[in-house]
Amino acid sequence: MTAMKFGFGQALTRKEDDALLRGAGRYVDDVAPAATLHAVMLRSPHAHARFGIADLGRVRGMPGVRLVLDGTDVAELGPLPCPGVIPGPEIKIPAYPILAKGTVRHVGDAIAFVVADTLDKAKDAAEAITVDWQPLPHMIGGMAALAASAPQVWPDRPGNLAFATEAGDANATKAAFAKAARTVSLTVINQRLVTNYIDTRGVIAEYDGERYTLTLGSQGSHIIRDIICGDVLKLPLDKMRVVTPDVGGGFGTKLFPYREYALAAVAAERLRKPVKWVAERTEHFLGDSHGRDNVSTARLALDDKGKFLGLELDIVADMGAYLSCYGPYIPWLGVGMATGAYDIPVAHVRLRGAYTNTVPVDAYRGAGRPEASYLIERLVDAAARETGTAPDALRRKNLIKPKALPYKTPTGKIYDSGDFAGTLARAQELAGWDGFNKRLAASKRAGRLRGIGIATYIEACGANGPETAVMRLDRDGGVTVLIGSQSTGQGHATSYAQLVAERLDLPPERVRVVQGDTDAIATGAGTGGSSSIPVGGVSVDRASKALAEQLKQLAADALEAAAGDLEIANGAIRVAGTDRVISFADLAAHGQTTPEKLRASSEFATDLPTFPNGTHIAEVEIDPGTGGTEILRYVIVDDFGATLNPLLLAGQVHGGTVQGIGQALMEDTVYDTASGQLLSASFMDYAMPRAAHAPDFVFETRNVPCKNNPLGVKGAGEAGAIGSCPALMNAVIDALWRAHGIGHLDMPATPQRVWQAIEKARQTGVS
């Protein structure tokens, strides 16, 4: 009997893709219970205004209209909570109502929920609602909001300050700067982004007289249930079931609860019919949380040999009009990673959150860590230019050495493992670093600008939890895994099946992974922070091991042998060295079997993050006549500790990197400061990366096993989005610096911005 090869380290294709490619996936919008009613949200066209709604009786009487809810109708509901608090002074959290009552604070703020027999009738009714608007002064932009004369978003939040906190040692940092031979300063904008997953958010709510059932796209059904049922509806959690079917992308934004989920539940209860709401694309721009939006100033102190002595950061994070679920916590995650992979003895970081009349900001792929990596990697390149040092040489001089690990950073993180200079060296080798000048000369002859950029990043992730995996041997000899994480396209069904195969030697098609049902699965932390394999995977592995031992005990009775003499292979158990064997299916049907003996579970929780790291190198060419940037080469060398599935890992890295390409070169969320309107509220105005923008990636791993994780793995889902922006922007600026002495440009480096920078330098000689 030969063991199958489906386990850890195998490059299996995703088992879930067959159904999706054949159009057999089932997303929220595919769910259509009988007699379903349809809902729309009426949203504010003003950034800040007082309002009153008149004559709802007329609208409620329109043909086909079943229900119209305004702020008064749902006043008894709790607001959306903000559990994402951070160290420092207590944050006074303003109410985030399910429907605004009396005042709106951003374009898209929700004021009424309309339910009708058809979507068209619901839209007609929403348009017929008469609203008396009294516009108020509004505020756009975090930095501007903190100015003394800025209009107030909240009257009882002076200066629009949402929170202020700090990390590190201010006095020690000041002393380091006092003795520095040189200091380098840089201010960068990490622009606001909109997630734009493929399937927009939606919900179908049903009520049977006792309980609610919500079907919705999420990154964790339990999180949604606990907040919507417990905090908003103020009911015991057993009064609600949340089901998540297939999900076409989440990227952090589907982790949180939203207003529509509670409103649909209330409507379903009152009408005793299913109620369905699905966002249109522009509504997604106006109603779902945005990402990033930081303005950061950094100062780096160096000695006369180029060694880093200290770091000082001042970060302003635009929170939008309300504090979203984890809003304050996101920039705080970046604070913890402020010094990157560098040996910087002391640091001090000041972080402030600002209220503005814009859509609330929350987690977006990487959640604070991309912002931190972007800032430190841009700063290191600026220091290299100002000191006349090659950017790779300055990094090698200051990267933390392997012998220094475990290494405690000035912000309190303890890096357990890694070889940061090793990934840099290997990436340079793959990128043909030494041959760049020859390629540069060729570009010059062609009238183009060429640049090369590095980002040597590190991030902290893989500690969200706890997560419990329940394993069950089924009558057909297959195994069912029940777990509270949620796949939104990552391939959990395949990854978890590989961990099961490692212990039970079953092919992936015989492992069923069940997620996204709070009735079937008792607990769940959801999927976020690149934790599904580092946390959920450990639970699956341990539960698989426990089930394997239980099955051996059962087989020992059936085969009349000692459990220690048994081995598992090919979905069966045999007495080692003999032909005496019993299949899993026969074992499940054995007379001595009980359901308890066919079931095992394991919970894993940890406070120790994993620290994936690596190096991205981008090489670009710029057409000075148009400002267009072309990515010619892109190399990634990552340390993920251990690789469960190389194929799925590459897909995650490629996908995250393309998201970084989008932010670096094209994506931008633009508000008009005069009107408060969101100008980039559709794909006509908001550019997204396409296949043509993605280069042929060269990707390798140079893994150093993680000491903080039982599987040795480091979270990988967000890493591509963390290393890509600084690598690309450093490459763009390298090209502009070599040709025109332009040392600064903010994202996105659109053709227009690049061309304008070149023209300004040509005309004035000032970058």
Contact 375, 296 (CB under 8 A): yes
Give the Cα separation of 129 and 70 in Å (integer).
Answer: 11
Are 573 and 683 contained in the same domain?
A: no
Beta-bridge partners for 636? 616, 699
Six token digits for residue 518: 């709070």
Query: Of 270, 287, 304, which one is at a domain's C-terminal end?
Result: 287
- Provide the CB-side half-sphere exposure for 739 (13 A, CA): 29
Are 638 and 728 contained in the same domain?
A: yes
What's the pLDDT at 4?
Answer: 61
Give the Cα separation of 456 and 301 in Å (integer).
Answer: 19
Are 677 and 554 contained in the same domain?
A: no
Are 664 and 548 contained in the same domain?
A: no
In a domain, 541, yes or no: yes
What's the pLDDT at 593?
Answer: 87
Helices of type H across 227-336: 259-271, 281-287, 329-336
Are 123 and 229 contained in the same domain?
A: yes
Query: What domain range includes position 227?
Result: 31-136+198-249+254-287
Query: Of 575, 604, 633, which one is at a domain's C-terminal end?
Result: 604
pLDDT digits 0-9 by tens, 687-705:
999 999 999 999 999 999 9
Sequence-distant (6+) residues with CB within 8 A of 579 are none
In a domain, 295, yes or no: no
pLDDT digits 0-9 by tens, 293-352:
999 999 999 999 999 999 999 999 999 999 999 999 999 999 999 999 999 999 999 999
* CATH code (residue 488): 3.30.365.10
Are 473 and 547 contained in the same domain?
A: yes
Give φ, ψ of 220 to 5 degrees: 170, 105
Are 447 and 510 contained in the same domain?
A: no
Are 723 and 622 contained in the same domain?
A: yes
* Locus of tokens 């079937």: 520
Are 563 and 527 contained in the same domain?
A: yes
In a domain, 583, yes or no: yes
- To the nearest 10 degrees (0 to 180), the angle between helices 369-387 and 391-398 is 110
Look over the chain and give the mean of its residue pLDDT values, rounded to a whole number. 97
Question: What's the Rg (C-alpha) of the chain?
Answer: 28
Type and span of the H or E element at 174: helix 170-178
Looking at this protein, which amino acid is placed at residue 707? K
In a domain, 568, yes or no: yes
Contact 377, 341 (CB under 8 A): no
Tabulate helix, strand, coil % of the chain (nearest 5). 35, 25, 40
pLDDT digits 0-9 by tens, 377-418:
999 999 999 999 999 999 999 999 999 999 999 999 999 999
Positions in the chain short of pLDDT 50: 1-2
In a domain, 162, yes or no: no
Instruction: Name the domain count of the chain.
Output: 3
Six token digits for residue 312: 């000082």
DSSP 327-372: TTHHHHHHHHTTTTTB--SEEEEEEEEEE-SS--B---TTTTHHHH
Contact 318, 364 (CB under 8 A): no
- Give CA separation, 476 vs 543, 548, 584, in Å: 19, 16, 8
In a domain, 192, yes or no: no
In a domain, 370, yes or no: no
* CATH code (residue 65): 3.90.1170.50
Contact 502, 512 (CB under 8 A): no
Which is nearest to 6 in space by CA: 613, 586, 426, 504?
504
Are 728 and 654 contained in the same domain?
A: yes
Are 711 and 571 contained in the same domain?
A: no
Are 595 and 615 contained in the same domain?
A: no
In a domain, 492, yes or no: yes
Query: Of 287, 302, 336, which one is at a domain's C-terminal end?
Result: 287
What's the pLDDT at 766?
Answer: 59
